[in-house]
A and B are shown apart, each in its own frame.
Chain A
Amino acid sequence: MFSLRHMPIFRFVLFVWALLFAMSSSAQSIPDDNTMAMIRANYLYQFASNSNWPSEWKKGTFNTAIVGNPEVFEIMVSKYAGKPIGSQALNVIGATEMTVTPQVHVLFVDRSKKAELAKYVKEFKGKSTLIVTNWEGALAQGAHINFLSIDGSIRFELNKTAMTEAVITPGIKILQWAIE
């Protein structure tokens, strides 16, 4: 009698494992998107397009400066730069470019640069620069609009008096959605 040799089971098992490995390597992954940055960038655009600046600020580009948050900066550049704000095109700049930009319409100071807010408040005093922040107590430190985190959602509070002093008129939508 001849003894018939089987294909070693382990060889086949290896084949199955190779298949499983291929499948697990294509396993579900977490997207890298920074959703907080996405929503903040969108709000900055909403603040820009739903507020009114003095007529002398409606010439040239509409400059939005981002300080201390590269991800918000990147999203602003990729999604909103060049989009119209009234008759102006939105221009996104960083902290270094601010020094050579005569008019900064919107300035976002991230909490990572909290210590620098006082400097910016002083620098832009008397100008129509809307200062936006994202930490508790920032309105009292001179910000006009401050992001709040409520159950993982981003909302905002505003200092209407300070905005009036800067001659920036918040639109009805901004007033409607601001947290009292």
Chain B
Amino acid sequence: MGNRINWQTYIGVVLLWFIQLGMAAQGMPLTNEAAKLCQQKSYAAALKKADEAIHSDAESRDAYTWYVHGFVHKEIYKEEELGNRQSTHRMQAEESLLRAMMAENAARHEEMIKLALKYLASTYYNDALQSSQVISGEGESTPRKLFADFERLMNVAVPGTDFLSYQKELEKSLGQHYFAMWQRDTEIAKWRELASKRYESIIAMDNTDSDAYYNLAVIDYNRAVFMYRKLGPDTDMFDAITLQEEASALIRTRALVNMEKAYALAPEKGEVVRGIMMMHRALDHEKDVAYFKAEIERLISEGKIKADQHK
């Protein structure tokens, strides 16, 4: 019985809300027509009507008019310009939606406006990550600017958003990109240094990020391995000894230190356990190698990591 009463109350509230919206929209023919055309995916016609609506004295003061105008631009962006970082439709959508938020009756449409803004914010975030993977110089201005746009819109759409995880993802993405650039030409130290800086910045934001410690360790370990790979029949004995002392010091004082931090934070992560085992092997630490090999076996037997990835 109680449930029945609750349902009746709920349906009543919803009906009342629709009636209110309908009454409010009665004097907005242009906006309503734009919304209808947009629903029918007739975007060009919808945009024309929405443009007329925002220039109409009768309709331009209403938040809903600006919301529809922004929404139409947003839909056109999705259809035609998704991934285009210079999209004019996205900029127009943003402007109109922010304008809708400033209208006197914004509160009535706030939820929908914020949802649209959140979507736009997400596209800026996505673009920031994508652009971080294609930069070829040292300039990070494009991904940084796109990320700032994401933050700006999210602060309106979802006030109080915690950006830490997003910031870390951007730094990680940049770090991975620089690492990949370094792998293409390991003689260019600049890429390695930039990758390290990005992971160090993650640790500065969050000193419990095991991935950042792992990635820092991998950079230094790779650097040491690249040095060892230079050993060959033409290497002089003095050079070989100097090279291996430099490489082993790199592993001992940097790579292993960071890998141990990663391990302390994620002792059952397969790649970390394998990583620490490899570093001990590179330092000829027999007992440690045996210990971490046993750990890998245990994690495999417990189904926590896959066997084929950690042979």
Do A and B originate from a single complex? Answer: yes
Asked if B215 and A28 make an inter-chain contact with CB atoms under 8 angstroms apart, the answer reads: yes
Interface bin, chain B: 35 or more
Does B64 have its Cβ within 8 Å of any Cβ on chain A?
yes
Interface residues of B in 56-108 (CB under 8 A from A): 64, 67-68, 71, 78
| A35 in complex: contacting residue of B123, B169, B176, B282, CB < 8 Å | B282
Asked if A35 and B245 make an inter-chain contact with CB atoms under 8 angstroms apart, the answer reads: no
Looking at B22, B36, B248, the one whose CB has the most chain A CB atoms below 10 A away is: B248
A residues in contact with B181, CB < 8 Å: none
A57-98 CB contact bits vs B (8 Å, 1 = yes)? 000000000000000000000011001000000000000000
B residues in contact with A34, CB < 8 Å: 281
Does A100 have its Cβ within 8 Å of any Cβ on chain B?
no
| A7 in complex: contacting residue of B28, B78, B240, B251, CB < 8 Å | B78
Q: Tally A residues with Cβ within 8 Å of B.
A: 45
State the CA gap A7–B247 with chains docked (Å): 53
A1-44 CB contact bits vs B (8 Å, 1 = yes)? 11111110100110110011001001111110111101100110
B residues in contact with A12, CB < 8 Å: 119, 122-123, 126
Given known pairs A149-B284, A154-B244, the reply for A30 and B126 (CB within 8 Å) is: no
B residues contacting A by CB (< 8 A) are 21-22, 24-25, 28, 32, 35-36, 38-39, 64, 67-68, 71, 78, 112, 115-116, 118-119, 122-123, 125-126, 129-130, 133, 169, 172-173, 176, 179-180, 214-215, 218-219, 221-222, 224-225, 228-229, 231-233, 235, 237-238, 240-241, 244-245, 247-249, 251-252, 271, 274-275, 278, 281-285
